[in-house]
A and B are shown apart, each in its own frame.
Chain A
Amino acid sequence: MSTQDQAPYVASCPECDVDLQTDAPNEIIEFHRRHYRVTGHEAEFEYAQLDLDEDVTSDGLKDVVWQLQEQYENGVPIGVVAAVMSDRGLSIGETLDEIHEVRMTGGLYEPQDDHLGAF
């Protein structure tokens, strides 16, 4: 919980009175995982102020990562990917599931934990 002004990334659980405001997009993913572990509920983005060099024009997950990875040195934070996919109608949980599926096909990899690169 925090009383700070609007942070760049805000997520909350629709079923609980709990939210997370943070500067770090991957904190949203950790929050989602922790909250799911103790409640089974999925937290969702309420707000994401993406600070990207250029707009993401792609729709598909792999293409989004492909386009974003030029802006990051060692992989795109998974929280940024989830925020972009949230704009396209996917929940955080759905994005994490899809990341897993595409990784299993070899289309995505993790150059570091919770950061994605695309082939």
Chain B
Amino acid sequence: MTQWDDSQAKAVSEDITEKSNALPARYFTDDDVFEMEKDKVFGQYWVYAGHANCIKESGQYFTRTIGDRQLIVVRGHDGEVKAFDNVCAHRGSKMVEDTPMTDPGDAKRIKCPYHLWTYDLDGELKSTPKSFEEAGLNPDLEDEDVQKFDAEENALNDVHVDTIGPLIFVNLSEDPMPLAEQAGVMKDRLEALPLGEYEHATRIVSEVECNWKVFASNYSECDHCQANHQDWIKGISLNESELEVNDYHWVLHYTHAEDVEDEMRIHDEHEAQFHYFWPNFTVNMYGTADGYGTYIIDPIDTNRFQLIADYYFRDSELSEEEREFVRTSRQLQEEDFELVERQWEGLRTGALAQAQLGPNEHTVHRFHQLAQEAYDS
């Protein structure tokens, strides 16, 4: 039953049969929860960082901010992708400027502008200026007594990196579960597709006035589609579609009402597949385009998030047909923004302490369960 009072709110129900408790509303609206999520959600699980095709050459890098941490994601001399905190081991200075994946930087080494400590692409300290080798200004110390900085001990702080095809993920925790465990069958499915053969074509970034989990919940179900995506729904047979739930991801399989030509899509199935990967990443395999897309649902604060939408096609230059496709995708986003912002206006009034979920919102239920598990951990 719907709970209008905080005292009646319960944890997310274990299943979605008799009880269908959603995540209590306070977890969406409390600023303390947002701070907790930096640690218990974004600090614990594998989070999408960016696309390997954007840093194909050694030394190419981009930055990615997750919670309060900013990382440098760089292609090393050995061809492997690595990630480090964008923080110098000397006195904690931020080193490189904000650099988006869409406009990567290029560096033979990573140099801190403060005192010019310089690291190689493995993160090891390679050189320090003379002022760290001689003690001319310190009367209590002879030059020969100056410590030599160990390259490994004074290396940059690296974070765990793993990939699914060309998709790069990072994990900020010390001892994470393997990415393969978190991704489950999604890893095999995506790696069976030639995702790496497709190039980044365009990025659209939007700021939306609602909590990130509201949009994530909306993305995960299609009961709202009939009423709110009327152009898109015309091409979809919802009754033949399926929402599949796995441990840390769920897949929305949409069957097209009329078959579309095989060459118009990257995957073989006669359907579109929308993968949601906990906590804030989606991979969108469209039924009507030879390409794919990704969303990053990045929180800004309790009340806002950025939707970072990337589109990948055979060629990085958009054809007219692809441009029209992106426009249609954008229309869907705009329609969803209207919905989630309206929901957010209602939620933040505090009137509803806990929502209830319908039987076809079992994907949303899983998302809420994962959030509850993370908060309670």
B100:A39 contact, CB within 8 angstroms: yes
| Residues of B contacting A20 in the complex (Cβ-Cβ under 8 angstroms) | 207
Least Cβ distance of A15 to chain B in Å?
Answer: 10
| A34-B306, A37-B65, A39-B100 given; A1·B208 CB < 8 A | yes
Q: B206: which A residues are within 8 A, CB to CB? A: 1, 17-18
Q: Are A16 and B205 in contact (CB under 8 A)?
A: yes
Complexed CA–CA distance, A113 and B337 (Å): 31
What is the size category of the interface that chain A forms with chain B?
Answer: 10 to 19
Interface residue A31 (Cβ < 8 Å from any Cβ of B)? yes
Known contacts A16-B205, A20-B207: does B102 contact A39 (CB below 8 Å)? yes
Q: Provided the pairs A38-B306, A39-B102 are in contact, do residues A1 and B203 lie with their beta carbons within 8 angstroms? A: no
Assess whether B205 is in contact with A39, with CB atoms less than 8 Å apart.
yes
B162 at the interface (CB under 8 A from A): no
Report A1-24 CB contacts with B as 1/0, cut-off 8 Å. Answer: 111000000000100111010000
Taking a contact as CB atoms under 8 Å apart, the answer to whether A38 and B103 are in contact is no
Q: Residue of A at shortest CB range from B99? A: A40
A13 to B207, CA, bound (A): 12
Q: CB-CB < 8 A to B65: which residues of A?
A: 37
Expressed in whole angstroms, the Cα–Cα distance for A39 and B99 within the complex equals: 8
Q: Is B247 an interface residue (CB 8 A)?
A: no
Contact (A1, B334) CB under 8 Å given A18-B206, A20-B207, A34-B306: yes
Against A, the Cβ 8 Å flags (1 = close, 0 = not) of B339-370 are: 00100000000000000000000000000000
B300 at the interface (CB under 8 A from A): yes
Contact of A31 among B203, B204, B207 (CB under 8 A): B207
Q: Which residues of B contact A40 (CB under 8 A)?
A: 99-100, 102-103
**Does B330 count as interface, using CB distance less than 8 angstroms?**
yes
A1 touches B337 (CB 8 A): yes
Instruction: Name A37's closest neighbour in chain B (CB-CB).
Output: B98
CB distance from A106 to the nearest CB of B (A): 20
A37–B207 Cα distance when bound, in Å, is 13
Kindly state whether residue A36 has any CB partner on chain B within 8 Å.
yes
Q: Is the CB of A3 within 8 A of B338?
A: yes
Complex interface bits, B154-178 against A, C-beta within 8 A gives 1, otherwise 0: 0000000000000000000000000
* Whole-angstrom CA separation of A13 from B330 in the bound complex: 16
Residues 23-43 of chain A, each 1 if its beta carbon lies under 8 Å from chain B, else 0: 000000001011111111000
Once A1-B334, A1-B341, A2-B341 are accepted as A-B contacts, the answer to whether A18 and B100 lie under 8 Å apart by CB is no
Chain A residues whose C-beta falls within 8 Å of the C-beta of B207 in the assembled complex: 1, 18, 20, 31, 34
Q: Is B308 part of the binding interface, using a Cβ–Cβ cutoff of 8 Å?
A: yes
In the assembled complex, how far is the CB of residue B285 from the closest CB belonging to chain A, in whole angstroms? 23
| B218: Cβ under 8 A from any A Cβ | no
Please, what's the 1-or-0 string for B129-154, where 1 marks a CB less than 8 Å from any CB in chain A?
00000000000000000000000000
Point out the residues of chain A lying under 8 angstroms from B100, CB to CB. 36-40
Assembled-state Cα–Cα distance A57/B286 (Å): 55
Q: Render B300-319 as a binary contact track against A, CB cut-off 8 A, 1 for contact.
A: 10000010100000000000
Q: What is the bound-complex CA distance between A33 and B63, given in angstroms?
A: 14
Return 14 A-B CB contacts under 8 Å, by A number.
A1-B206, A1-B208, A1-B337, A2-B209, A13-B205, A17-B206, A17-B330, A18-B206, A20-B207, A34-B207, A35-B205, A37-B63, A37-B100, A39-B203
> Interface of A with B (CB < 8 Å)?
1-3, 13, 16-18, 20, 31, 33-40
